[in-house]
Amino acid sequence: MNWTDNGIVLSVRRHGESSAIVQLLTKSHGRHAGLVRGGTGRKLRGVLQPGNEVVGSWKARLSEHLGTYTIELLRSRGAALLTDPERLAGLSAACAVAELVLPEREPHPGTYEGMLALLDGIVGGDAWPQMYVRWEAGLLAELGFGLDLDSCAVTGSLHGLAFVSPRSGRAVSEEGAGTYRDRLLKLPAFLVANGHGIGDPVPGHPGQMYRAISDGLALTGYFLEQHVLLDRDRALPPARTRLVERFTRRTTTSSAI
């Protein structure tokens, strides 16, 4: 069996003296592993970096076998972020989360395209943290655990949406939260599609922006752990934890200024 597909490098693990087991998120074959001979050598070391866009040709005698990859580089991203540790942390977190939560060999072309857009945003956009949170929310929807953020679960209102119920994943307004607000997850306004949320980051106030990002990461992280990873007895990857810590420090530092 063999096929050729575009893919994003998610991880590379040394195998033997010079080979590597590479996980790709492919457009048509989902998250798919394969052995790359010489994958740790000088020729392929720069190609097999998380976040790089490649063409992978996979070959195996039977479909259930690990198989081997032949890899060609389409676009390098990681090298452009070596001087920007925050963006590099975002790229590393996205690759680690995709590898952990996506089922093996199950096509998710929408997730693949969404990740390409996210990685492009991380490399060259200022709003990449918001894109990252939206991408994780999209992952939840792709896996059957989408959040319902269109209206308040209590009042039906489209306005003042500020929280999310940890039980139902539905939005709750300031009015609807009542005495239960301390039990709800905070909803950053940039996740509210109809624009009627509250607490939009204020230009010139980075502390509010970082707080909104931290709230968004806490929201999507909660549902990833409770609905996607709980049955697998797994936690979110360390790369994502480090990204959260970066924004938490930014929030604290900005508030102190």
Give every CB contact of residue 85 below 8 A, 6+ residues apart in sequence: none
- Counting every residue, how long is the chain? 257
Is 57 in a helix, a strand, or coil? strand
Q: What is the pLDDT of residue 142?
A: 95
- The segments of the chain whose pLDDT lies below 70 read 193-206, 253-257
Question: Smallest Cα–Cα separation from 31: which of 139, 116, 103, 118?
Answer: 103
CA distance 22 to 102: 15
Q: What is the pLDDT of residue 200?
A: 47
Q: What is the pLDDT of residue 151?
A: 95
Question: Smallest Cα–Cα separation from 71: which of 5, 138, 161?
Answer: 5
- Looking at the chain, the domain(s) classified CATH 2.40.50.140 span 2-81
Phi, psi of 118 (to 5 degrees): -60, -45
Q: Would you say the pTM of this structure is higher than 0.95?
A: no
6 contacts 25 by C-beta, under 8 angstroms: no
Q: What's the CATH superfamily of 2-81?
A: Nucleic acid-binding proteins (2.40.50.140)
Q: What is the pLDDT of residue 125?
A: 87
